[in-house]
């Protein structure tokens, strides 16, 4: 494991300067996707090089008690109700717009989004982040907070306040869950549940990189 100084430099470049630079200089989706791919590969390589690393442990983690899964699902239902109400009150014309107007695209999003977007993001911001930077943020609460904040910061590129705000809250939820189960599988399932609902309910326009620039 690198020294705390090198980890601090790496953290600053990947999770602070990187997102800010992308916001000011990235103009195309291709660049965004390329950076996600590069960061994902870097996270995979560095995780693999960590002593004691196991693909099985990365995926399954330490287990998630049924009571905690139930609480996480109830929290999702609460958030889903709030998101639905916000959609109805603020942008009622977008309510279920994607499945109503473009059902084929909606099905593709439901199938591909968890694999192509959620899984890499959870690898980077939960598994990699919360394992590699424990020495920088030794408190579990602080580690959860930093994971959530950096996840929100990475969505600045979408050029609206809704995406960073919502993903910061979502990042805190996913990071807290990961701190309990340490499972990439469960973190990805939880993230996919929220993300697929956001796209279904009509708020996906704020999270789609095609709308990152006017």
Token pair for residue 207?
């999270």
pLDDT 10s digits, 154-176? 999 888 899 999 999 999 999 99
CB distance 130 to 175 below 8 Å: yes
Domain count, the chain: 1
Task: Determine contact, residues 185/193, Cβ cutoff 8 Å.
Answer: no
Distance of CA 168 to the CA centre of its chain: 9
57-112 pLDDT per residue, tens: 999 998 899 999 999 999 999 999 999 999 999 999 999 999 999 999 999 999 99
pLDDT for residue 213 is more than 90: no
| pLDDT at residue 208 is higher than 80 | no
List CB contacts of 121: < 8 A, sequence separation 6 or more: 36, 151, 191
Domain boundaries, position 135: 4-211
- In whole angstroms, give the CA distance from residue 191 to residue 111: 14
- The answer to whether 171 and 194 have CB atoms below 8 angstroms apart is no
């Amino acid at each position: 494991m690198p020294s705390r100084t090198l980890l601090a430099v790496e953290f600053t470049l990947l999770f602070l300067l990187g997102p800010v630079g992308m916001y000011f200089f990235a103009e195309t989706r291709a660049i965004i996707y390329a950076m996600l791919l590069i960061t994902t590969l870097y996270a995979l390589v560095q995780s693999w090089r960590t002593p004691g690393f196991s693909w099985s442990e990365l995926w399954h983690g330490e287990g998630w008690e049924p009571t905690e899964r139930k609480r996480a699902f109830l929290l999702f239902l609460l958030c889903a109700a709030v998101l639905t109400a916000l959609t109805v009150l603020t942008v009622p014309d977008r309510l279920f717009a994607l499945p109503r107007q473009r059902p084929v695209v909606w099905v593709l999003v439901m199938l591909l989004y968890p694999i192509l977007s959620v899984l890499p993001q959870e690898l980077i911001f939960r598994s990699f982040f919360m394992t590699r930077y424990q020495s920088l943020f030794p408190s579990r609460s602080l580690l959860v907070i930093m994971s959530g904040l950096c996840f929100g910061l990475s969505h600045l590129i979408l050029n609206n306040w809704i995406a960073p705000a919502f993903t910061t809250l979502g990042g805190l939820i996913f990071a807290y869950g990961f701190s309990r189960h340490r499972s990439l599988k469960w973190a990805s399932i939880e993230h996919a549940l929220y993300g697929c609902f956001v796209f279904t309910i009509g708020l996906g326009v704020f999270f789609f990189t095609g709308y990152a620039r006017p």
